[in-house]
Amino acid sequence: MDEHIKDEIAKLKEYFRGRKDSLAGLEELAGAPIRHHFPVDLWQLSDSELDGEMGKRLSFLNDDIDCRPTPDITSHRRFIGPAIVWLKKVVFRIFRPYSNTLFLRQNRFNDQLVAFHLATFIRLRRLEEKVRNLERQEQELREQVEDLPRVQGSPTPKHEAD
């Protein structure tokens, strides 16, 4: 019975591995966006899955460039809530000159980091295209070499001077 179950599990694994490889990514296989709370092992992803992961992470970084606290301070507490909101606003207003310098530096860093990652992503795409072109040229050269006549021992005509 154990062997039968192991065989069935192996067949299912092979089936889903084949489906995963034929699709653009795991989200297409699942039919919905995948939300996970565990680190993704990037080494295990296919090229298309890596592209999607890079795009998601880059857009996430871009959306969160500005790390300053939002101006809307609210509280869900009915009676003490307004006092907490007022106190937070006072504290933020007092510390704003000090925190703004830190937040501005962090925002500049975040902006430059996102731009760097985007430039790296674009450069990677260009390098991949160059590699594809070189591979195509190599294949064309191989085909041309194979088409050359293979005459090894035949004498080549020599031109005699008059």
Give per-residue pLDDT as tens, 131-155.
999 999 999 999 888 888 764 545 5
- pLDDT for residue 130: 96
Closest by CA to 26, choosing from 4, 56, 48, 58, is 48
Average pLDDT over residues 40-69: 80
- pLDDT for residue 150: 63
Residue 26 has pLDDT above 80, yes or no: no
- pLDDT for residue 66: 81
Give per-residue pLDDT as tens, 75-113.
888 889 889 889 988 988 898 888 888 888 888 888 898
Helices then strands, each counted (H, E), the chain? 4, 0
Residue 13 has pLDDT above 80, yes or no: yes
pTM given for the model: 0.51
Residue 65 has pLDDT above 70, yes or no: yes
- pLDDT for residue 19: 75
Q: How far apart are CA 159 and CA 58, in angstroms?
A: 67
Domain ranges of the chain: 1-34, 42-145
